[in-house]
């Protein structure tokens, strides 16, 4: 049988490398911020034109604003994103006129967000996420111990952060819906971690159990291994169905989830319990037993 605890150093190193890579990728490539966080205009159009042709069409409007055209994978839907500038009201009129003049582009979705409002959205999303993180930490602290809270939150941030790096690497747009996706990964990650915490707690609180801490960690993982694999497998199975069948504007999200589930499974198996041990929980247990 595999001894998970013995991979502690290697998995710490692997995670450090992944985190460092994420920092480099985000620093070099940046985040592909959508209009939710940057302000601007966004269109989804169905058309037979190519990206270049659409780009040409939009050049009819004399503007120095940045225009990005992107084709959605496996469909005839294109996303057009236009940066905001001054005098947005009249610019929107112009753009709407232009689209009306080109019936070969069938507009499915159009959206405009004022830059001042997108600043507010960023702040608002951060508040929401930080407050829910604090709640998670508090609950784990009450039900388990502070070492578990710290480790659980670390594993969660680890998973979400590396997923952000994944999104940056593949240029996946960052918007409010993607925040919901990252929250799903966070929820999945913490769920997975707590199941293992629970097992560790019940093993270490058993008075007849004279195993060493590292054996307890390993047993917690071993006893739950089938469950961890089954759950991850069924989740990924469901997500693959979504990737293959979901509406065009939703294909990226399940792909991000699949990555998140994989990294979340890794962090609960290889990181979460080891961190609890390294936060001196072993000493706490010894003090209690003697």
Partner 1 sequence: MSFLKQWRFWLSLLLIGFCFYFIQPNFNSKNSDFKLNFGLDIQGGYSYLLELNENEFKQNLLIKTVQALESSYGLQSDISNNQIFISSDQNIDLLNNLTIQSLGFEIIERNDSGVLIGLLEQNFNQSLSEMTLNAVEIVRSRVDFLGNKELSLQKVGLNKILLEIPGNLDSNVKDVISKTAKLTLHLEKQTLVNSKVFFNEETGEEVRVQEIPNLTGDYIQDAALQYNQNEPVVSFSFNKEGSDLFAKMTSENVGSRFAIVLDGALITAPVIREAITGGSGQISGNFTNESANNLAIILKSGSLPTEIKIIQEKQVGPSLGREGVKKGIYASLIALIAITLFMIAYYKVSGLFTALTIISCLGLLFALMSLLNTTLTLPGVIGIVLTIGMCVDANVLVFERIRENYKNNLENPKADGFGSAYVTILDSNLTTLFAAIFLFAFGFGPIRGFSISLIIGIISSLIVTYIILKFFIDITSGKYLGLNK
List, in order, residues 6 or more apart from 105 with CB less than 8 Å away: 45, 46, 47, 49, 54, 57, 99
Q: Whose Cβ is closer to partner 1: residue 68's or residue 108's?
A: 108
Q: Whose Cβ is closer to partner 1: residue 67's or residue 246's?
A: 246
Q: Whose Cβ is closer to partner 1: residue 85's or residue 187's?
A: 187
List interacting residues with partner 1 (CB under 8 A). Answer: 44, 106-114, 116-117, 121, 124-125, 127-129, 131-133, 135-136, 139-140, 143, 176-177, 179-181, 183-184, 186-188, 190-192, 194-195, 197-199, 202, 223-224, 226-227, 230-231, 233-235, 237-239, 241-242, 244-247, 249-250, 253
Could you tell me if 68 and 80 are in contact, meaning their C-beta atoms sit under 8 angstroms apart?
yes
List Cα–Cα distances, 194 to 141, 201, 262, in angstroms. Answer: 12, 10, 17
Q: Whose Cβ is closer to partner 1: residue 17's or residue 223's?
A: 223
Could you tell me if 175 and 35 are in contact, meaning their C-beta atoms sit under 8 angstroms apart?
yes
List, in order, residues 6 or more apart from 166 with CB less than 8 Å away: 172, 256, 259
Task: Compute the distance between CA of residue 262 and CA of residue 25 in angstroms, rounded to an integer.
Answer: 20
Minimum gap (Å) between residue 49 Cβ and partner 1: 18
Q: Whose Cβ is closer to partner 1: residue 8's or residue 174's?
A: 174
Minimum gap (Å) between residue 65 Cβ and partner 1: 18
Minimum gap (Å) between residue 106 Cβ and partner 1: 8
């Amino acid at each position: 049988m595999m001894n998970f605890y013995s991979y502690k150093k290697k998995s710490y190193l692997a995670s450090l490398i992944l985190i460092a890579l994420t920092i480099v990728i985000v620093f070099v490539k940046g985040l592909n911020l959508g209009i939710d966080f940057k302000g601007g205009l966004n269109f989804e159009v169905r058309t037979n034109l190519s990206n270049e042709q659409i780009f040409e069409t939009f050049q009819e409007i004399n503007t120095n604003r940045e225009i990005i055209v992107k084709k959605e994978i496996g469909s005839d839907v294109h996303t057009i994103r236009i940066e905001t500038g001054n005098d947005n009201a009249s610019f929107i009129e112009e753009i709407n006129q232009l689209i009306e003049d080109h019936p070969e582009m069938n507009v499915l979705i159009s959206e405009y967000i004022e830059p001042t409002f997108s600043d507010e959205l960023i702040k608002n999303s951060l508040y929401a996420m930080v407050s829910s993180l604090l709640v998670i930490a508090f609950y784990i602290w009450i039900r388990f111990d502070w070492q578990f809270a710290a480790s659980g939150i670390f594993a969660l941030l680890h998973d979400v952060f590396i997923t952000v790096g994944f999104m940056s690497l593949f240029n996946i747009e960052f918007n409010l819906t993607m925040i919901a996706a990252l929250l799903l990964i966070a929820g999945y990650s913490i769920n997975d971690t707590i199941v293992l915490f629970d097992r560790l707690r019940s093993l270490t609180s058993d008075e007849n159990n004279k195993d060493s801490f590292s054996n307890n960690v390993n047993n917690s993982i071993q006893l739950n291994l089938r469950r961890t694999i089954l759950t991850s497998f069924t989740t990924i199975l469901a997500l693959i169905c979504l990737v293959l069948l979901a509406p065009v504007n939703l294909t990226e999200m399940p792909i991000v989830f699949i990555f998140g589930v994989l990294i979340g499974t890794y962090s609960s198996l290889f990181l979460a319990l080891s961190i609890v041990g390294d936060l001196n929980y072993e000493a706490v247990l010894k003090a209690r037993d003697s």
